[in-house]
Structure 1
Amino acid sequence: MRAVILTLRFVLELCALAALAYGGWRLPAPIAVRILAAVLLPLIAALIWGRWVAPRGSHLLPDPVRLIPEWAVFGGATVALILTGHPVLGGVFAVSAAVDRWLLHVLKTSTGGEPA
């Protein structure tokens, strides 16, 4: 069960990066700004994730403080989906991320997969 939940979490992380890139691309701005946003938004999210959330992050935060950068990334992806005209997809993404995190908590598993 842990493997399934952790796999879903990884897929959600990739979806968050894709949603942020899509949100940047869909900005009502000149093409140069859109390209820059489509690159920088997921890059910033990946840096946040890699530093404070990822299992091999350089400055891992303990649970529950880890929820702050985690929800900044997932929340940003949700907002990007909603603002680009995909509110149902944004809602499904947000609920999926919340349920996945709740299941990790119920199974007493950290986001790195080891028992908490």
Structure 2
Amino acid sequence: MLTAVKGVAAGLMFLLELGVLFSVGRWGFTLDAGIVVRILLGLGTPAVFATLWGLFAAGGKAPYQLHGLARAAFEVVWFGGGAAALAASGMVTAGVVFAVLYVADAVARLLTHQV
């Protein structure tokens, strides 16, 4: 049972990571701005978020791996940014669902000592 919970939590975490990249990209492309700004933010924001994840949080491979409270704060800001981006792009319900899924996954990872 514990192995199954760990697997589900890890799989959901991966999908949430991809969801953040989609969310911030969608936000950039749906801004009420000129086409150049929308393209720059629609492509650039996911690139910035992916770079930050790779530097600070990528499962054991990050050169500046965060731990403890620093990791928790980073995740809250990173995944919160994804939820906020969904809401800002007009998908408020999806943003709330995204945030709830992240909290549920974080609790599952804490309870199974995956953090």
Segments of 5+ residues of structure 1 without an aligned counterpart are 111-116
Tell me how far apart the structure 2 counterparts of residues 68 and 47 of structure 1 sit (CA, whole Å).
Answer: 17
Shift of 1:83: 1.2
Report the TM-score, using the length of structure 2 for normalisation.
0.91
**In structure 2, how many angstroms separate the alpha carbons of the residues matched to 1:70 and 1:45?**
11
Separation (CA, whole Å) in 1 of partners of 2:39 and 2:103: 30
Q: Deviations over 1:40-61 (max 9, x none)?
A: 1111111111111111111101
What percentage of residue pairs aligned between the two structures are identical? 32
Q: Does the CA contact (< 8 Å) of 1:48 and 1:69 recur in 2?
A: no
The match for 2:65 is 60
TM-score, reference length from structure 1: 0.90
Map residues 1-116 of structure 1 onto 2, 5 A cutoff: 1-55=5-59, 56-110=61-115
Q: Structure 1 or 2: larger helix share?
A: 2
Instruction: Compute the displacement of 1:68 (Å).
Output: 2.1
CA RMSD in angstroms, aligned pairs only = 0.9
Aligned residues: 110
Deviating 4+ runs (over 3 angstroms): none
Q: 2: distance between equivalents of 1:104 and 1:64?
A: 15
